[in-house]
Amino acid sequence: MKKIITVICTATLLSSGLAFAASHSNTMDDPIASRKAEMKKVGGAMGTLVKMAKGKMDFDAAAALASLKTMNEVASNFGELFPDGSQTGGKTTVSPKIWSDASGFTKSISKFEADTVSAIANAPTDQASVGATLGLVGANCKACHQTYRIKK
Q: Which residues in this chain contact ligand HEC in the complex, by CB under 6 A? A: 11, 14-15, 18, 32, 35-36, 39-40, 42-43, 46, 71, 92-94, 108-109, 112, 137-138, 140-141, 144-145, 148-149
Q: How many residues does the chain have?
A: 152
d(CA 113, CA 13): 23
CB 57 within 8 A of CB 135: no
Q: Note whether 106 and 79 are within 8 A (CB).
A: yes
Question: In angstroms, what is the minimal distance from the CB of 100 to ligand HEC?
Answer: 14
- Other Cβ atoms within 10 Å of 68 Cβ, number: 26
**Residue 101 Cβ, how far from ligand HEC at the closest point, in Å?**
12
Instruction: For residue 137, count CB atoms less than 10 angstroms from its CB and return exposed for 0-12, middle for 13-18, buried for 19 or more.
Output: buried
The smaller minimum CB distance to ligand HEC, of residues 91 and 121, is found at 91
Q: Which is nearer to ligand HEC, 124 or 138 (by Cβ)?
A: 138
Shortest Å distance, C-beta 14 to ligand HEC: 6
- The residue (of 61 and 135) whose beta carbon lies closer to ligand HEC is 135
- Residue 70's identity, in one-letter code, is T
Give CA–CA dist 149/152, Å, rounded: 9
Beta carbon nearer to ligand HEC, 53 or 141: 141
* Nearer to ligand HEC (CB atom), residue 18 or residue 128: 18
* Shortest Cβ 21–ligand HEC spacing (Å): 8
